[in-house]
Amino acid sequence: MVAFITLLLTRAVKARDGIDASIVLLFLGMMVAMLLGPAYLYLTTLGFGISDVVIWEIAVFMTLGMMPAAGLTAAKLVLLSEPERSGQPPLSALLEHTTALRASYISLLVLSEFLMGWTFNLASGLIRLSAGYSVVAVAKQLEYSLTSYWFVFTMVGEMGLTLLALRKVLRPNLLKILAIQGVVMFLTPTALSSRVWETYTVYLEAAVMTGLVVFALDYLRKKRERDRPMLSYLGVFIIANAVMMVGFLLWLVDGDSILLALSLVAETVVYFDAVFTGAGLGETFHS
């Protein structure tokens, strides 16, 4: 699944027409739909089996994914076979709204990973609800899922594979910062239920984030008004890291991980927004 989503993200970056962009949105939406099915079944029955997931995924994949995707692919092949065809290709207006398109990609990506983490935690028995559960109980489950290895390590895998796939597209300085940001996410102390992991990652995480913030502040001081997208990324990145540091402190003090969970989502959004922007989907960074 990590490799499949990475393939979608690289195709999103390289999309040259509305049909390609639509196919990416379709498959990302399909991923979300496949995970919403098991989530609904679990919340209504408090029962969860692999067979439920498989049946739901096959049904959604066939009805909401493959057939429309096949139709769009056929339309693309028809267009390619008619090079003399004039006028705008179908769905070309999508690429005129890069900000909205980028936001759609990222929102569907984060939502699919969020639901996947929750579903896998349920399937492995790490979390479960009892009869008469409340909204607060569900929220606690979702909070746990965002800080567990199912979400953290899966997202780190997608970060790493995306950078590998786009290494020739992204500028070197941005590539290095994004790689370190992936390391920051990997070192999330709550990802593993291990005292050794928690102890060492807290210090490593703090050291890496502090170094990155110092570098970002120095970069901002030197560059000032040049390379506006890069400066915007670093500014938002500093804020996201500050929130994550506070989240770590709260988790260490009283075990509350809600702010940490939200900061992980923010880190993911900042990361992939920089990837898409740096690769040219919108106002790109200077070379």
113-153 confidence digits (pLDDT tens) = 888 888 888 877 788 888 778 888 888 888 888 999 989 99
Residues 139 and 215 in one domain: no
pTM here is: 0.81
Q: ∠ CA 107-142-200 to the nearest 5 degrees?
A: 95
Tokens standing for residue 103: 């936001």
Residue 53 pLDDT: 66
Residues 98 and 7 in one domain: yes
Residue 151 lies in a domain: no
Cα dist. 227→48, 56, 233 in Å? 50, 47, 10
Q: Where in the sequence is the domain holding 261, given as residue range(s)? A: 171-287
Tokens standing for residue 236: 């938002």
CA gap 59, 37 in Å, rounded: 10
Q: Which residue has the higher pLDDT, 225 or 23?
A: 23
* Domain endpoint, select from 146, 163, 185: 146
Residue 50 pLDDT: 63
CA gap 245, 17 in Å, rounded: 41
Residues 218 and 284 in one domain: yes
Q: 10 Å Cβ neighbour count for 239?
A: 13
Per-residue buried b or exposed e for 117-147, using 16+ beta carbons within 10 Å of the residue's own CB = bbbbbbbeeeeebeeeeeeeeeebbbbbbbb
Nearest to 118 by CA among 41, 182, 189: 41
> Residues 244, 264: contact at Cβ < 8 Å?
yes
Q: Which residue has the higher pLDDT, 243 or 51?
A: 243
Residue 160 lies in a domain: no
Decide: helix, strand or coil at residue 192.
coil
Confidence category of residue 285, pLDDT binned at 50, 70, 90: very low
Residue 248 lies in a domain: yes
Residues 91 and 175 in one domain: no
Q: ∠ CA 118-119-121 to the nearest 5 degrees?
A: 65
* Domain endpoint, select from 111, 146, 181: 146
Number of H helices, E strands in the chain: 11, 0
Residues 256 and 199 in one domain: yes
* Distance between start and end Cα atoms, the chain: 32
Residue 164 lies in a domain: no
CA gap 264, 147 in Å, rounded: 8
CA gap 211, 205 in Å, rounded: 10
Residues 135 and 208 in one domain: no
Residue 279 lies in a domain: yes
Count of structural domains, the chain: 2
* Domain endpoint, select from 146, 181, 206: 146
Tokens standing for residue 177: 């910062």
> Residues 19, 89: contact at Cβ < 8 Å?
yes
Residue 46 lies in a domain: yes
Sign, CA torsion 63/112/168/281: positive
Residues 142 and 240 in one domain: no
Residue 287 pLDDT: 34
Nearest to 26 by CA among 58, 71, 59: 71
Residue 254: pLDDT above 50? yes
Residue 284: pLDDT above 50? no
Mean pLDDT of 79-96: 64
Residues 116 and 223 in one domain: no
Q: What is the 3-state secondary structure (H, E, C) of 206-260?
A: HHHHHHHHHHHHHHHHHHCCCCHHHHHHHHHHHHHHHHHHHHHHHHHHHCCCHHH
Residue 227 pLDDT: 64
Mean pLDDT of 222-247: 76
Tokens standing for residue 2: 């990590």
Mean pLDDT of 204-213: 79
Residue 225 lies in a domain: yes
- Of 75-84, 114-123, 173-182, 195-204, where does mean pLDDT reach its minimum? 75-84
Tokens standing for residue 215: 């570098």
Residues 114 and 252 in one domain: no
Confidence category of residue 157, pLDDT binned at 50, 70, 90: very high
Tokens standing for residue 242: 């500050």
Residues 10 and 69 in one domain: yes
Residues 36 and 120 in one domain: yes
Residues 285 and 185 in one domain: yes
Residue 163 lies in a domain: no
